[in-house]
């Protein structure tokens, strides 16, 4: 067995094992990490489209079935004067996912190119999406519940296909960031 240095803390370990000191994996799999992250990111981007063009929920009032997309919900809330709620939904469901996509694309390109500029900032950006990751599943419920508030008088409210796509998009973005090994950021830069 070969001895390798832990890429995180520098302790010497046997290869293909977890570090005895910090318990991170000592092997860096750049190709595997990048290709998994890219695959999940592309899948997430694909689901972003139906998440926004299909109704996030459907309301049935009498014989009439009506669906609202995220944007329609935001516009309706805005017109009824719920400005903070409209802005929160717009932020949580439209802007945060786009921001995460951009950060992931930027980090994937930087890792693929082995860029050594602003390594610390990149690690910080990575942790930013890591921190917001599990929380963004809450967006799904916030969006569904808040858009439902507009239709509180309706007989039946069921999640539309947009809600499923939105949940899948959030999950796939989470998997993309989990697949990306942050230790690959600036790994060839000899810290």
Contact window for Zn ion (CB under 5 A) among 4-12, 63-71, 73-81, 161-169: 4-12
- Closest CB to Zn ion among 11 and 149? 11
Question: Is the Cβ–Cβ distance between 73 and 172 less than 8 Å?
Answer: no
Query: CA–CA distance from 71 to each of 34, 86, 103 (Å)?
Result: 33, 9, 23
- Closest CB to Zn ion among 17 and 115? 17
How many of the chain's residues bind Zn ion (CB under 5 A)?
7
Q: Which residues of 120-148 are buried (b: 16+ CB within 10 A; e: fewer)?
A: eebeebbeebeebbeebeebbebbbebbb
- Closest CB to Zn ion among 26 and 175? 26
For the bound state, the minimum distance from the C-beta of residue 159 to Zn ion, rounded and expressed in Å, comes to 44
Interacting residues of 9 by C-beta distance below 8 A, sequence separation 6+: 19, 21, 22, 24
Gap between the Cα atoms of 129 and 124, Å rounded: 9
- Closest CB to Zn ion among 160 and 186? 186
Q: Is 19 in the site for Zn ion (CB under 5 A)?
A: yes
The two three-digit tokens of residue 157, written as one number? 């409210």
Contact window for Zn ion (CB under 5 A) among 2-10, 116-124, 144-152, 166-174: 2-10
Binding to Zn ion (CB under 5 A) within 20-79 occurs at 21-22
Query: CA–CA distance from 159 to each of 30, 88, 97, 147, 150 (Å)?
Result: 39, 20, 20, 11, 14
DSSP string covering 14-51: ETTSB-TTT--BS---HHHHHHHHHHHHHHHHHHHHHH
For the bound state, the minimum distance from the C-beta of residue 66 to Zn ion, rounded and expressed in Å, comes to 56
Q: Is 4 in the site for Zn ion (CB under 5 A)?
A: no
Binding to Zn ion (CB under 5 A) within 102-161 occurs at none
For the bound state, the minimum distance from the C-beta of residue 33 to Zn ion, rounded and expressed in Å, comes to 17
Question: Which one of residues 9, 105, 123, 148 is an interface residue with Zn ion (CB under 5 A)?
Answer: 9
Contact window for Zn ion (CB under 5 A) among 10-18, 36-44, 129-137, 153-161: 10-18
Residues that bind Zn ion (CB under 5 A): 6, 8-9, 11, 19, 21-22
């Amino acid at each position: 067995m070969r001895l390798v240095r832990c890429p995180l803390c520098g302790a010497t370990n046997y290869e293909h094992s977890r570090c005895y000191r910090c318990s991170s994996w000592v092997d860096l799999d750049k190709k595997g990490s990048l290709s998994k992250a890219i695959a999940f990111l592309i899948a997430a981007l694909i689901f972003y489209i139906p998440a926004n063009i299909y109704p996030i929920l459907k309301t049935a009032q009498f014989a009439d079935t009506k669906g609202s997309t995220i944007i329609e919900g935001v516009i309706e809330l805005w017109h009824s004067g719920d400005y903070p709620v409209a802005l929160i939904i717009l932020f949580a469901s439209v802007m945060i996912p786009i921001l995460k996509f951009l950060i992931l694309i930027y980090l994937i390109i930087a890792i693929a190119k082995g860029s050594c500029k602003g390594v610390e900032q990149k690690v910080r950006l990575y942790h930013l999406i890591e921190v917001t990751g599990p929380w963004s599943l809450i967006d799904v419920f916030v969006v569904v519940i808040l858009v439902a508030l507009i239709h509180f008088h309706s007989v039946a409210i069921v999640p539309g296909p947009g809600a499923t796509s939105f949940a899948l998009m959030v999950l796939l973005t989470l998997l993309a960031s989990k697949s990306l090994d942050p230790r690959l950021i600036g790994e060839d830069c000899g810290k």
